[in-house]
Every structure is written in C-alpha cells, then in structure tokens.
C-alpha cells in the first residue's frame, strides 16, 4: 500500500482507555449473560439483565440488547412484557453494544441449546478468527470478506451475503467502511487507529443466504436530535425530547421509554418522526449463527477489544 493511504488517527491515551474499557465491559457482560441463558428463560429477562449490568459497570448500552433465535438474524429486541421464551433445541444469538463517553464496542456470539445446527456456531467463530488474523492497516475490506466466505464454504456452510461488519466512530455505530462477509472488489482499505466490528453471519449451504425484512420493528433511532416544535403537538414534542435524552442519537427501544412516551411512540413511528430497524430473518427460514468482535487496527495487526 502507498504511504499516502496511511491516514493515521491517533486517539489520545484517555480516549484509548475509554475505548478499551467499553470493549472489556461488552466482552465480559456477553460472557456472563451466556451463563444465564437456558431453556425456559424469557428473552426480555436476558436483555434487561444485560442492559442493567452494563450500567452497573459504569457504561451504557450502545443499542438495545439483540436476541436472535434460529432464523432471526438481527434487530430483534424484546418489547416490555414480551412473552417470548427461549426453548431447548435452538441457536441463540446475543448481540451487545456498550458505549462509554461516546466510544462504542459491539460484540456478539451464538449459544447452542442442543440445536441440530450446532455446527453453525463453530463456523461463525472460525470465520471470525480467520478474519481477525488478517486485519491490519492497508488490508482491503474485500479480502476480509473473501476469508470469511472461504472459511464458511470449506466448512460446508454459507455466509449471509447482505449483512456486514462496519466501522465504528465516536457516537456512531455504523460509520464509514463496511466489512463484507463475502468476497468483493471494493478498493477500501483498513486504517491504523480506526475501529471496526467484524461479524460473520453463517447459515446452511443450501439456504439462499440472504436476510429479508419482517414487519416487526422493536429498535428505532432518531436522527434529528433537536426536534422543532413545528407541526408537533405538545405531547409529541415531549415524547421526542425524552427519546433524545434516553437514546442520545443511538438506537433505542420502547422498553426504555416512560409510559406516555411509549404510548404515543407508534404514532411517532407512523409519522416518520423516528426511524425503525425491521427484524431481519433468513429468507428461507434457515438457522443463522453470528460471531462478532470489535477491533482497533494497528499498522502490524489488530487489537481485539471485546474479549471478555
């Protein structure tokens, strides 16, 4: 790679410390959560425990805890009073985001509750491991996708083609580069001092290997963090202000809102005042596994921030 492409962003020592601390909280909370997930537990209980534990450790959730059973690949978080119970015989993906002073770490893993598709867990982990080995300044993002794809294929599986990893910036979970899970000719290269989440999603070889939107939307965000009173009723304005204060522009869920704001939330969504992330499922209903770490890229390799 040419010298001109080495744009080095040097976070100061205190910022690096916050970033590493966010990563360490995310990793340890995910690991702790897995020891609590067993058949019969409500998914809401798991997510509420995770989010409370993050706060107890002095950080904040960067997004609502995601739980994805089998073909639910991403963006499912339980609603308040959600009666979804985790059953035996399934794959459970748990995806955790931690924010500390704007520094964000994002990590996920899959638990096999004696599913017939338990091997998908190993494939996602192996694909992630191989991707991380490759990561250093100057590597093309398409090469990372190639390694993930080749690992999955060699192990008799397939990555989800339309889900990808992403760069992370301060207060911005999905910023800049995408890290594909399939080969691509994208010329973009990793840069030293930048933070990336790598997250292979793996499904069965015979499945289409793409995710589609469902009608369920439980995770939202507000882009405009200074809502103007124009055209808004007093209660809508108050609800939007609460959302901004609760979410700080990051993704949120109605579980985090008070009664009045939660009650008029469907109207805010319908009117396009807040943005929704539909639950994503594998198109054919095939089971999906996921493994994710957040890394800080250096000139000669990468530092995994979310090992618990």
d(CA 221, CA 190): 28
The reply on whether position 108 binds Mn ion by CB under 5 A is: yes
Encoded tokens for 266 = 């469907």
When the beta carbons of 179 and 261 are compared against Mn ion, the nearer one is: 179
If one asks whether residue 99 binds Mn ion (CB under 5 A), the answer comes out as: no
Instruction: Closer to Mn ion by CB, 67 or 147: give it.
Output: 67
Of 199, 193, 200, 195, the closest CA to residue 300 belongs to: 193
Q: Which is nearer to Mn ion, 198 or 268 (CB)?
A: 198
Q: Residue 217 contacts by C-beta under 8 Å, 6 or more apart in sequence? A: 269, 276, 277, 278, 279
Is residue 106 within the footprint of Mn ion (CB under 5 A)? yes
Catalytic residue among 70, 167, 199, 282: 199
Q: Among 44, 95, 126, 282, which residue sits at the site for Mn ion (rule: CB under 5 A)?
A: 95
What letter does residue 217 receive in the DSSP assignment? E
- Cα–Cα distance between 91 and 195 in angstroms, integer? 28
Tell which positions 164-223 bind Mn ion, by CB under 5 A.
Answer: 197
Strand pairing partners for 294? Answer: 197
Q: 113 is written with which tokens?
A: 């509750």
Q: Is 199 one of the annotated active-site residues of the chain?
A: yes
- Give me the catalytic one of 75, 166, 265, 293: 166
Tell me which stretch binds Mn ion (CB under 5 A): 28-36, 79-87, 88-96, 148-156. Answer: 88-96
Q: How many residues bind Mn ion (CB under 5 A)?
A: 5
Identity of the residue, 147 or 219, whose beta carbon is nearer to Mn ion in the bound complex: 219
Q: Of 87-95, 152-160, 183-191, 208-216, which part binds Mn ion (CB under 5 A)?
A: 87-95
Q: One of 106, 126, 143, 282 is an active-site residue; which one?
A: 106
| Stretch of 76-84, 227-235, 284-292, 297-305 lying at the interface with Mn ion (CB under 5 A) | 284-292
Selection from 89, 90, 121 nearest residue 108 by Cα = 121
Structure tokens at 115: 């599913």
Report whether 37 contacts 84 (CB < 8 A).
Answer: no
Q: Which is nearer to Mn ion, 71 or 227 (CB)?
A: 71
Q: Is 72 in the site for Mn ion (CB under 5 A)?
A: no
Dig out the tokens for 280 from the structure: 């994503």
Task: Collect all residues with Cβ–Cβ distance below 8 Å to 286 and sequence separation of at least 6.
Answer: 71, 203, 204, 206, 207, 208
Active site residue 174: yes
Tell me whether residue 70 or residue 106 sits nearer to Mn ion (CB atom): 106
Q: Give the strands of the sheet with 211-221, arranged side by side.
A: 72-74, 275-282, 211-221
150 is catalytic: no
Active site residue 292: yes
Q: Which of 143, 167, 236, 292 is catalytic?
A: 292
Catalytic residue, candidates 174, 188, 238, 303 = 174
Structure tokens at 106: 């994002």
Site for Mn ion, residues 289 to 308, rule: CB under 5 A: 292
State the DSSP code for 292. Answer: B
Q: Which of residues 25-64 bind Mn ion (CB under 5 A)?
A: none
Q: Supply the residues annotated as catalytic.
A: 95, 106, 166, 174, 199, 292
Contact residues for Mn ion, defined by CB under 5 A: 95, 106, 108, 197, 292
């Amino acid at each position: 790679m040419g010298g001109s492409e080495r744009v080095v962003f040097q976070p100061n020592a205190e910022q690096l410390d916050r970033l590493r601390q966010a990563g360490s909280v995310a990793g340890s909370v995910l690991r702790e959560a897995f020891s609590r997930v067993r058949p019969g537990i409500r998914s809401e209980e798991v997510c509420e425990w995770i989010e409370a534990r993050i706060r107890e450790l002095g950080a904040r959730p960067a997004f609502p805890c995601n739980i994805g059973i089998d073909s639910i690949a991403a963006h499912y978080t339980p609603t308040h009073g959600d009666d979804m119970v985790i059953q035996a015989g399934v794959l459970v993906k748990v995806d955790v985001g931690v924010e500390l002073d704007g520094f964000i770490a994002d990590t996920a893993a899959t638990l096999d509750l004696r599913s017939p598709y338990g091997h998908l867990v190993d494939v996602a982990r192996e694909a992630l491991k191989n991707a991380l080995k490759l990561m250093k300044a100057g590597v093309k993002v398409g090469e990372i996708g190639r390694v993930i794809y080749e690992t999955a294929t060699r192990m008799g599986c397939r990555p989800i083609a339309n889900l990808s990893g992403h760069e992370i910036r301060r207060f911005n979970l999905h910023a800049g580069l995408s890290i594909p899970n399939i080969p691509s000719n994208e010329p973009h290269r990793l840069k030293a001092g930048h933070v990336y989440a790598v997250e292979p999603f793996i499904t069965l070889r015979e499945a289409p290997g793409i995710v589609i939107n469902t009608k369920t939307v439980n995770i939202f965000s507000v882009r405009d963090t200074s809502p103007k009173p124009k055209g808004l009723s007093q209660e809508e304005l108050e609800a939007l202000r609460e959302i901004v204060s609760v979410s700080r522009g990051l993704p949120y869920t109605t579980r985090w809102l008070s009664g009045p704001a939660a009650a008029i939330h469907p109207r805010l969504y319908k009117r396009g005042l807040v943005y929704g992330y539909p639950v994503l499922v594998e198109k054919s209903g095939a089971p999906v596994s996921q493994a994710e770490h957040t890394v800080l890229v250096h000139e000669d390799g990468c530092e995994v921030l979310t090992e618990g």
